[in-house]
């Protein structure tokens, strides 16, 4: 309650200060102040709730309020919130069908370049309750193995055109990491 009173008093003082400095832009200044106050109240609401919304929750809210608004622009093509949401739902169902051992709480490594499917796969895995470990697409050999080991990922999703595990899998397909890491480590041991 005290924070709200302090925020209100600060707002009143800010209005007085703005008015004393510049009366010629009063309408624009008041509009800005109103927008800034709304944003401040939203931040205060989040702070008081002690819970920060996830990216997926915010995305789901936007799907409900703006389903036909463009969300992603890629190579001149616009994908709306609804299109990305339905694609991520299809990918989530695909992951459940192809990887029945994939459970909520599992970590899945994602080795994909910047493309619309990157976001769709991320959201699809998040909808299943999986944590996603984003891997740099420039990693090779031991660095990639280290990142896979550190992340604790038990599955790996590979995007189109990626080397290494992509040669053993179709694009956007889950690979069981333990098997791939063992094969990769044996190959590295032979070259060392």
Summarised one tens digit per residue, pLDDT across range 102-151 is: 888 889 888 888 888 889 999 999 999 999 999 888 877 788 888 888 88
Q: What is the mean pLDDT of residues 50-66?
A: 88
Position 54 pLDDT exceeds 80:
yes
Mean pLDDT of 32-61: 85
- The 10s digit of each residue's pLDDT in 149-181 is 888 888 888 877 654 443 444 444 455 544 444
> Cα–Cα distance between 63 and 77 in angstroms, integer?
18
Task: Give the per-residue pLDDT at 19.
Answer: 67
**b/e code 147-184 from CB counts within 10 Å (16+ = b):** bbeebebbbbbbbeebebbbeebeebbbbebeebbeeb
Annotated domain spans of the chain: 56-191
For residue 70, what pLDDT is reported?
A: 94
- The verdict on domain 56-191 having CATH code 3.40.50.980 is yes
In the chain, beta strands by DSSP E? 70-74, 77-80, 107-111, 131-134, 155-158, 174-176
- Give the length of the chain: 192
In percent, how much of the chain has pLDDT > 70?
Answer: 79
If you search the block for the tokens 């709730």, which residue do you land on?
49
Confidence of residue 89 (pLDDT cuts 50, 70, 90): very high
Cβ proximity of 176 and 152 under 8 Å: no
Mean pLDDT, range 45-53, rounded to an integer: 78
pLDDT at 162 (0 to 100): 53
pLDDT at 187: 47
Average pLDDT, the chain: 79
For 105, counting Cβ atoms within 10 Å of its Cβ (0-12 exposed, 13-18 middle, 19+ buried), the class is: exposed
User: Which pLDDT belongs to residue 190?
Assistant: 44
């Amino acid at each position: 309650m005290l924070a709200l009173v302090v925020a209100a008093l600060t707002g009143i003082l800010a209005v007085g200060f703005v008015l004393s400095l510049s009366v010629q832009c009063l309408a624009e200044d008041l509009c800005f102040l109103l927008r800034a106050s709304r944003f401040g109240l939203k931040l205060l609401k989040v702070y008081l709730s002690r819970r920060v919304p996830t990216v997926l929750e915010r995305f789901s809210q936007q799907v409900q309020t703006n389903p036909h608004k463009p969300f992603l622009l890629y190579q001149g093509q616009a994908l709306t919130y609804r299109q990305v949401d339905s694609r991520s739902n299809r990918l989530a169902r695909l992951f459940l069908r192809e990887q029945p051992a994939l459970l909520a709480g599992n970590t899945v490594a994602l080795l994909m370049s910047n493309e619309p499917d990157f976001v769709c796969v991320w959201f699809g895995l998040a909808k299943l309750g999986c944590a996603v470990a984003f891997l740099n697409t420039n990693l090779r050999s031991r660095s990639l193995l280290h990142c896979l080991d550190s992340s604790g990922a038990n599955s790996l999703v590979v995007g189109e055109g990626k080397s290494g595990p992509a040669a053993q899998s179709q694009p956007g397909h889950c690979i069981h990491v333990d098997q791939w890491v063992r094969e990769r480590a044996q190959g590295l041991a032979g070259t060392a």
